[in-house]
Structure 1
């Protein structure tokens, strides 16, 4: 009876974690710009991984594997936000501002305008250039 309850509770945690990943994927697809996408992905990723690992711990019972899963959970809870911060900082350093366009066409148009603005003006002079 205990094993059945443990399997059910563990399965519920696994399903909840998978649902968070699905919600995060939908959020990444629907958000209009990079920083909103990063926000949606990081929240869903950290919560989804946490729920899945807790579900695996409950399902597996107490063993060496559970101890390893606890360490993995602690690692993911610390490193997920750090990786998200690094990604957002790299985007800011690359020149993307919050609210700026981030679809492929918009980024390509922005890059084309930027390159055209920095292109050297044609030289006027005698003879061949």
Structure 2
């Protein structure tokens, strides 16, 4: 029986590490997207994915590491809070920018719009 528990514990460690590594990959991809994407709205998309999916995967990895305890319940509640508020906040910021008059970049490359004097 103790061998089964040892294998189960090792499996949970592997799943935990995989979830956290995947979360870090999404956070890094979102950070690169925020730096490289051309306009505000595409950057908001990258930031929203990072906030939601990256943070949730890291939380899942932490929950698996914590086991069945009060700490895992607290982490799950924090994860639920992030899951509910992050997309809402991203939408609210993007909607506020749109209502303020910020237009999305509709061309593929920004230098093309500079060549024709900004007329599109």
TM-score range, shorter chain: 0.7 to 0.9
Q: Determine the structure 2 residue equivalent to 1:65.
A: 71
Deviation per CA, 1:23-56: give whole Å up to 9, x if none: 0011111110000000111012200011001101
Which protein is bigger by CA-based radius of gyration? Answer: 1
Give the number of equivalent residue pairs.
102
Tell me the CA shift for residue 5 of structure 1. Answer: 2.1
TM-score normalised according to structure 1 size? 0.73
Tell me the CA shift for residue 86 of structure 1. Answer: 1.2
Tell me the CA shift for residue 74 of structure 1. Answer: 1.0
Q: Determine the structure 2 residue equivalent to 1:83.
A: 89
RMSD of the TM alignment (CA)?
1.8
- Out of 17-26 and 83-92, give the one that drifted further: 83-92
Q: For structure 2, which runs of at least 5 residues remain unmatched after alignment?
A: 1-5, 111-120
Q: For structure 1, which runs of at least 5 residues remain unmatched after alignment?
A: 104-129
